[in-house]
Structure 1
Amino acid sequence: MEPFTVLTAVAAPLPWSDVNTDDIFPGPGVTPVRHWPSAREVLSDRHKMGPNAFAAHRYAEDGTPNPEFVLNRPPYDTAGILIARENFGCGSSREMAVWALVGIGLRCIIAPSFGDIFAGNCVKNGVLPVRLGHDVVERLLTTAAERPDGRFTVDLQECTVTAPDDARHAFAIGAYQRDALLNGLDEIAATLSRLPTIDTHEAAYLARRPWLGGGS
C-alpha cells in the first residue's frame, strides 16, 4: 500500500449528502458499464474497478459519458481529492466502493462524516477520510467549485488541509489509522510489523502454561 504523507491535488466538489456505497459502486444489474465489453473485468477485478466508480452518474444508460457529472469535467477528472457532505459512504459494507475510488485516482475524501465501515475500508486501502465541520466543508466546496484549477494540500503529518486561498484547517484522526496511512500498512502488514512483540508475548504466555504446548 502506498504511504500517505502529503497530497497536493485538484479537489472535486460533490455537494451531496448520504452518498451510499451503491452510488459509489453500483451493482452489475444496474451499472451502465454492464454494456461494455470489459464489464466482467471492471466488476470483478479490484485493480480495474475505477470505471464503475459513480457509474450511474458518470454514464448514460447506454454507457456513454455524462458530460455534466463533476468527475467527467476537466480538471476534476484528474482530482486526487473529493469533497462531499454528510454521511459519505453510508449503506452496505462493500469494499469495492473504495477500490473503485482508488481506481480513479482518489486518495482523500473530505466530508463532515462518513459511514463507519466505509471509513475503515478507506484506511485499509490507503485512502484518507478527513472529517471537518459542516461549515468548513461548505467553504471548501465553494472554493473547489470557484477555483477548479486550484490545488488543495492535505498533510497527514501535520493533520491539516490547506485550500488554494491558503486557509488552513486542522483535522483529527486516530493514532493507529494515522500510523497505518503514513507507513503504507494494511492490516496484515501492520500485524507483521509487530511480530517481535507478538513472539515475546506468546513465549511468555506459553511459559506460564506449558500444557498448551509451549514448554515441557
Structure 2
Amino acid sequence: MKTVLCYGDSLTWGYNAQTLSRHAYEDRWPSALQAGLGDGVRVIAEGLNGRTTIFDDYASGADRNGARTLPTILSTHSPLDLIIIMLGTNDLKPAICGRAHGSRQGMERLIDIVRGHDYPFDVAAPQILIVSPPALCETPNVDFAGVFEDGIGQSLKLSALYAQVAERMGCGFFDAGTVARADPTDGVHLDAANTRSIGEGLVAGVRSMLGL
C-alpha cells in the first residue's frame, strides 16, 4: 500500500469560514483525494490552523512553524511514498513575513528537510508534490482583512514562485487556484465544494507520481 502525507494549514485541516467550525470529514480535500485514489493508497491529513512554512507565530498554543514540526511528523508516519505540501498563505500575514518570496524560501527549506531527514530504518525520502494555495480575495470580515492586510497581491505570486521551485528542485506541482477559490466570508478559507475540488484535482497527478 502506498502512503501519502498531506502537510498543510487550515485549508488542509478543513476550516469552515461560514460556520466557524470544521468541514465534514468527507468534504476536506485529503478525504476527497483518498476517495479518488481508492483503497490501495492511504492518505494522511496533517493540517494545522495557522501553520507557516518556516516562521514562528506565537498567537496560538500550538507550534505553527512548519519547518520545526515537520521532522517529527516525517518520523511518525514513515515510511512515506509522497508528501503533499500546501503552505504559504499564513506567511503572508504582515506580522509573520508578508511577502510571497518569503514563502518561496520557506518551501525550499521544507523540501530540504524532507530530503535530508534521518528516516527510521534508513528508508528512502518520499517524493514531494508542492501545491500553491488559492489566492486570497476581498472580504467584509475586518479581522481577516486586517490580519492579511495587502496580502491579496502577494498571494497571487505564489503559484509562479512555487512552480519555479518545483522545476528547479525536481518536485511535482499543482496550482490549487485552478480548481478552487477562497470564500469571501473571510477571504482566506474555502467552502465545502472548493475544498473538495482540490482533492479531486490532485488525483490524476498523485496517481502518476505513485506509478498507479
- TM-score band (shorter)? 0.3 to 0.5
Tell me the TM-score normalised to structure 1 length: 0.33
The two structures have a TM-score, normalised by structure 2, of 0.33
